[in-house]
Chain A
Amino acid sequence: MSFYLPIAEMSASIFIFLGMGAAVGFLSGMFGVGGGFLMTPLLIFSGVPAAVAVGTEAAQIVASSVSGAIAQYRRNNVDIKMGIVLLAGGIVGSIIGVQVVKILRQIGQFELFVSLTYVTFLGIIGTLMLIEALNTIRKTKGGKAVSARRPGQHSWIHGLPFKMRFHRSKLYISAIPPLMIGAFVGFLGAIMGVGGGFIMVPAMIYLLRVPTNVVVGTSLFQIVFVTAATTILHATQNHTVDIVLAMLLMVGGVVGAQFGAVAGEKLKGEQLRALLAGLVLLVCLRIAYSLIITPSDLFTISSVMGGH
């Protein structure tokens, strides 16, 4: 059964996108990640214009994060004050990111830029995760109990001005680092079509020393609002949010995530992380390959921006 996507302006089988949503939903349910970093490349590989993939994925991330954010909020795992500071930075980053998308599309370099960003971030994060997971697996095999590393008590971050007290996180730090992290994640989210949890969570743990129990909730809180803002910005600036496509992905994603969560419970944390790292690196290599291999046709055509 074919369906016409009004913004992507293509006709595609709805089962392809439902299946894609389900597959990525399964993985995100299993690994507890947003899945945007898998979905956006998949959409681009399947022929959706890169800008539409990024804009539409923002809407889907809103859907997939909102229930998690509410659940975390009910469990009091959200540092609202920290979340708002991150959010303020995130919206600034998103505004800049959407403008960058607009400019890059006009000069015809958006696909390249998205690919390079993906290769860079997936490469770095995949490698780090893989090393960490393999180390953990080796240590547990050696019989030693693995304890989470206690973060050091002081770093250069504590010397910055504009200090704020974050009660829920039991922190008294400058507002600048969370603003910067939020802005960076918002910017990446706007150009990569991701929520950015894979950057924000490690940044909050290692740079801000936010307690791990509030990290996920606070990051989800920020992601919901920033991706909502990004969706609206993409819709107004670039006209690249395909609501029909987003709904297909949401339906597939919801179903897939349920099975993924069940499957994830049967695997150990470090095994999951090693698998996820492998997946991230695979996506990274696939994108890198498409940049290096000689294209079948050196020429491409696209409609002129603004000429609708």
Chain B
Amino acid sequence: MDARSRSISGLAALAFALVGMATAPLVAPLAQGVWRQPQAPSPQQMPYGQQMPQQMYPAPGYTQQQQPQQQQPGYPMQQGGAAQQPAGQPHQAQPMPSPQPPQAQPAPSQAVQPAVTQPLAQQSAHAPQPGMSPPAERVEADVSTRSVAITSSFTGTEIIIFGSVENSRQETAESGLYDIAIIIEGTPTPIVARKKSRVGGLWINTQSQTFDDVPSYYAIASTRPIEEITEPQILAANEIGFDYVSMIAKNGGKGVKAEEFGDFKHAVVRRKQAESLYQKSDYGVAFIGRSLFRSSISLPANVPVGPLVTRVYLFKDGKLLSKHSSKVNLQREGIERYLHDFAFDYPLLYGIFAVLVAVAAGLIASALFKKGSH
């Protein structure tokens, strides 16, 4: 668990590196102003390279010292105005129905702030910072059901995910200033994908590729198609969307050739979709207030048992602002749970039990049959 959360925060940091790269021209003037780094290249010369994030992310202690300065009234406005020309253009192409005049000016500095305060890398949506003055947007979310029981009558269920954007700057639910992507992911399990080909007139499995860890379940809902929300690098770094579901080929195993690997990956997604285990809802998240949003994601009857992880991402202008994750437990309950555990924990006893049940059923049936025939 620790290793996993660490890797998530690693990914989050990587995501911010990417955000940083994307917003490099925007950050640069700010960096020059706030951190007084004369060596920082000008927006036009800024290379989109690896060194950029390092320059932009000073040590956390330093960052915190700088925070109050960020809040100096009027200061972000100045910087925002200065930075808007190089950075604003690509984002204006996006269909953002939000009223621009009040929102647009502080926007660039907001985009910088998460990178400075790094809420993601700390994974601390509950950290004490929200009470303080920095009005960085954060997302917090929860699920309607923390525990789903799979009983004999389980035919699937719906989970409501609701959350809010702290320090929301959008005026109404319809402003569309923010984008939310919600992902519910099941336990990673090993999977084999096989491909049939025609051999002597028969369709036979001829190729196979084993994946070590493929999410048993993956549902994504977003305020609009994720490709419109942000760029592929950010999606990939956060495993958002079917194209970026984490699938690691089993190493050491004899897999398929590299050029065919993609086919197998897509096939896994396609087959999982056919079983309703992978779901996508492009407009499945709706804001119901300035900051409140909700979504419902259906768990089909065949959802594999195990903990589900819910990840909620907050975007603005294509930039990842914040992330929140929570857990849902999915467990078998009732007699099925006992039977399933029985079958896997005590297979010999289970087998004997199955035979005894069968013998008893046969004897009862013949007794009934005798009575009926006389």
Contacts and interface: CB of A to CB of B under 8 A. Distances in A.
Contacts of B351: 231-236, 241
Contacts of B154: 2, 4, 11
A50 to B, nearest CB: 13
Contact of B336 (A59, A244, A294): A244
Interface in B137-185: 150-156
B189 A307 contact: yes
A298 interface: yes
Interface residues of A, number: 55
A168 interface: no
**Main SS class of interface, B:** helix
Interface in A24-66: 59-60, 62-66
Interface residues of B, number: 61
A112 B208 CA distance: 15
A301 B151 contact: no
Contacts of A235: 343, 347-348, 350-351, 354
B367 to A, nearest CB: 8
B301 interface: yes
A103 interface: no
Contact of A298 (B190, B195, B337, B357): B195
A250 B302 CA distance: 24
B210 interface: yes
Interface string A225-246: 0001001111110010101101
A4 B303 CA distance: 11
Interface string B23-36: 00000000000000
B340 A67 contact: no
Interface stretch (B10-18, B218-226, B267-275): B267-275
B372 interface: yes
Contacts, number: 183
A153 interface: no
Contact of B347 (A239, A302, A303): A239
Nearest to B277: A301
Contact of A59 (B263, B268, B332, B354): B354
B126 to A, nearest CB: 35
Given A59-B355, A235-B348, A244-B339, A299 B202 contact: no
Contact of A236 (B191, B193, B347, B365): B347
Nearest to B198: A294
A258 interface: yes
Contacts of A2: 153-155, 301
B280 interface: no
A67 B366 contact: yes
22 contacts: A1-B153, A2-B153, A2-B155, A4-B301, A6-B340, A59-B355, A60-B358, A62-B362, A108-B192, A112-B204, A228-B359, A231-B354, A232-B354, A243-B339, A243-B350, A243-B354, A244-B336, A295-B203, A297-B274, A299-B193, A302-B191, A303-B192
List the 5 shortest-distance A-B pairs measured between CB atoms, nearest first: A235-B351, A67-B366, A299-B267, A66-B362, A232-B351
Interface of B: 150-156, 189-198, 201-205, 208, 210, 263-264, 267-268, 270-272, 274, 301-302, 304, 332, 336-337, 339-340, 343-344, 347-348, 350-355, 357-359, 361-363, 365-366, 368-369, 372
